[in-house]
Amino acid sequence: MASLGAFLRLIGAGWTLVRNDALLPRELDGFYSSGVRTAASALRVFATRRDGRPGERLARSLERLGPVAIKLGQLLSTRADIFGRTFAEDLGRLKDKLPPFPTGEARALVEQELGKPVGAVFATFGDPVAAASLAQAHDAMLLEGRRVAVKVLRPGIERRVAADSEVLKLAARLIERLAPPARRLEPMGFALTVVRATELELDLRLEAAGADELAEVMAADGYMSAPKVLWEGVGKRVLTLEWAQGMPLSDEAALEQPGLDRKALAANLTRAFLAQALDHGVFHADLHEGNLFAAAPDRLQAVDFGIIGRLGPTERRYLAEILWGFLRRDYQQVAQVHFDAGYVPAHHSVAAFAQALRAVGEPVFGRAASTIAMSRVLTQLFEITALFDMRLRPELVLLQKTMMTVEGVARRIDPDHDIWAASEPVVRRWIARELSPATRVKRFAGELETAVRNVSRLAAAPPVQPIAVVEPERNGALLWFALGALASGAAFLIGRLL
């Protein structure tokens, strides 16, 4: 049961949006139905702060509502192709330009976490250079002369996140109860995923470990890099990294750097994300412009590793096969993978779903991204998911959210970015490696070894409550029969694979 405080905070959130005319903004009256337009007019009576554009009013509201709401604004700000460039830019300040807290408080927190004076670790410790929803970054210099960025959590942020999380879960429960059509989007599963990811961001020791792991992963391909972790400057509320190379993409001047290859930069972003997810099963799940630094000609460096996404082998295979099917425009294969994965209920027709996918895919293939109305494509996809009873998969929320963010940022870097062409080398490499006959034989051999080991354990285990006495000779015969069946099956499958 939600607390009274959560109900009051949820009402307060709605009131904040209404006061800023950010819930049903007047600029969108032409898109509302007559009933919604009437409701919007009634609510607008209470709007006391109508100054600014819709994006500015929404940014102002989300900033007041707290870190979880700000995360939503950061996601929306990456999709100028859907919501419009002006709206996205107005929300852009939520990425790293929020009001900072005093440097004195930051220094006190650093000393408390590291157990020593700031001067014992840093030669200089400057004012904040960026401030986001959960933390802010300071420009500092180590005693040895190396320039670093020191990330410090906001004071009291744990309590604020806990309160916001309770409100988000309450909102999800109300949506499930009051809006039955929305249940297939798994509001509670989505809310729990967001809450858990945000909770993990509150321990910067975990972020340091994630940054270290992803630095190794990124180095394998070179599409993206990560600053080195300075472990002597790491605590639960403090993280020290080498100074990021380049300019943050949240700075408009970043894309105007001399010698910058915007097309290659956008391609590297898409390939970096896919290589992380497909090849390693771990990916940076917060790749908005405020967390990405660019340098000529096409170098990308990521920061802020608080949200890490992970995929198991099965999810990675489904993702690769879906992308590969789209790349080859094999809609029947894409549809079949959706059914095999359980993304589409089995009572639907694979052929009909393939037909629906063709209706989405064919109009966009071969066209420049700048000519595609992504809002219409997403609307069509949403209608198709409803038609085929597709539900949101909570375990894939971070993947889907990051894919949406990456595509939006890549299109801002290069308005004509072709996400399919950029994806093709990474997906082709994965398919060639993971679905080759040799790899399948190796995988099957591993599964066979596990099966034999399990059968051996079963045969060796003493019976708990035997129903009938079985001769030892027969026990041995059963074991050899099982092993023989496994060997025969192995020979048959290997023959099919080769």
The two beta strands, 238-242 and 135-142, are: unpaired
Round to whole Å and give the CA distance between 352 and 68: 39
Helix (H) or strand (E) holding 150: strand 147-153
Contact 490, 448 (CB under 8 A): yes
Is 371 exposed, middle or buried, given 0-12, 13-18 or 19+ CB atoms closer than 10 A?
exposed
Furthest-apart CA pair in the chain: how many Å? 88
Reply yes or no: is the peptide bond before residue 297 cis, omega within 30 of 0: yes
Task: For the chain, give the number of residues.
Answer: 498
Place of tokens 């209404």: 18
Round to whole Å and give the CA distance between 12 and 6: 10
Contact 321, 428 (CB under 8 A): no
Backbone phi, psi, residue 294, to 5°? -120, 145
Helix (H) or strand (E) holding 100: none
Round to whole Å and give the CA distance between 301 and 214: 11
Give 128's strand partners. Answer: 138
Catalytic residue, candidates 96, 286, 298, 418? 286
Q: What DSSP letter does each residue of 399-465 carry, written as one string?
A: HHHHHHHHHHHHHHH-TT--HHHHHHHHHHHHHHHHSSHHHHHHHHHHHHHHHHHHHHHHHHSPPSS
3-state secondary structure of 338: helix
Round to whole Å and give the CA distance between 292 and 302: 5
CA distances for 224 relative to 26, 98, 298, 405, angstroms: 42, 26, 9, 16
Count of H-run helices and E-run strands, the chain:
20, 9
Round to whole Å and give the CA distance between 251 and 298: 16
3-state secondary structure of 227: coil
Whether 279 is catalytic is no
Q: Where are the beta strands (DSSP E) in 21-142?
A: 122-131, 135-142
CA distances for 358 relative to 147, 303, 325, 365, 417, angstroms: 52, 38, 11, 10, 21
The two beta strands, 247-248 and 238-242, are: unpaired
Which DSSP letter does residue 238 get? Answer: E
Catalytic residues: 286
